Amino acid sequence: MSGRAQLMWDEAVTGYDFGSGHPMDPVRLALTMRLVEAFELDRGPLEVVAAKPAGDSTLRLVHRQDYIAAVRRASADPAAADLSYGLGTADDPAFAGMHEASALIAGQSVGAAEAVWRGDAAHAVNFAGGLHHGMPGGASGFCIYNDASLAIARLLELGAERVAYVDVDVHHGDGVQATFWEDPRVLTISLHEHPRTLFPQTGWPEETGGEGAEGTAANVALPAGTGDEGWLRAFHAVVPELLAAFRPQVIVTQHGADTHFEDPLAHLAVSLDAQRMVAEACHDLAHQYADGRWVALGGGGYAVVDVVPRSWTHLAAIAAGRPIDPASMVPEHWRHEVFRRTRQLAPHRMTDGRTPQWRDFVDDGYDPADRLDQAVLATRRAVFPSHGLLP
């Protein structure tokens, strides 16, 4: 296997644009790539690769042909968007070129999966991806085609027998879970804000997989307000043990940056520093349990200047084997670019100034009266016995 890391990038992914005022502002993608370049990660540590858009035969690995046809129609004429497919809604407005932009993002994630499986790269990153709400037959939650599901489906098509998907976006990875609900070859783990308080109102601990695939869906429903200590405690209380038991050949991770305390659409209180620590943990877990095969995707994240570019640049740097010191100053020319594009002031450092700590759930014990510990225990009780693990 190559030791190189690939960054999947085509400037045209910024055409995934729901319009002025929509939270999913594509400037977050452009600013992330410019920050990657400002740290010169594209000059050696990362091989920047543009994959082809996903064609219909690839899209059909996950999506129904009638839905793909509906996206094409809305893409050619946004006024023809069919609400029955989730197109033309407030969350997913139709826009000209929607199919092409969505297929291009999907193509980057599929290309990342192919590169890692074939050994062309040890790790591959597509921060434009992670559109995890897309359903086989409909758009949902800012997501048209589900590139994460398509990457996993392509891995299975290439011969993978066990793929683990770890989703740390603030929203439940419902589309990926639904796609592989009855497939025992895919383990989906999602840590997210509790469905009582956040879209899509799914991801309860009792959701553990369909018939023949019991225990292959794990959901940690975190209380609103959970910060660094609780988020890291929950991650380490669930993810490593399940990966050790499942023995994945590839790990696909989704790194939505909307867990951050500045994110306008959710209610967790996680710092950039904790997000970086989870990215590092995912990298280490891939080496520990999957021979280093790691596909890392972006996802949500709506603090498009302060949070998203820094979080995903850390992710890319970790994948490249050249992690950025959190105390590093943000390059000044990038800060000028931010102001030019957005008229907002950019952050000065690659840190929120936090040094997160957490207590280990197993070694340090848990508090049955603590809401975070109750959430972790509910997940462990629901899923761990299916893997021969003690809850």
Which residues are identified as catalytic? Answer: 133
Number of neighbours of residue 364 by Cβ within 10 angstroms: 10
Region of 329 (left: φ > 0; alpha: ψ -120 to 50; beta: rest) is beta
- 75 burial type by CB count under 10 A (0-12 exposed, 13-18 middle, 19+ buried): buried
DSSP string, 331-383: PHHHHHHHHHHHS-PPPSBSS-S-------TTTS---TT-HHHHHHHHHHHHH
Give the integer Cα–Cα distance in Å for 374 and 127.
Answer: 32
Closest CA to 191 of 209, 207, 173: 173
Give the integer Cα–Cα distance in Å for 80 and 100.
Answer: 16
Helix (H) or strand (E) holding 186: strand 186-193
The set of residues, in sequence order, having a beta carbon less than 8 Å from that of 27 and lying 6+ positions away, is 14, 304, 341, 342
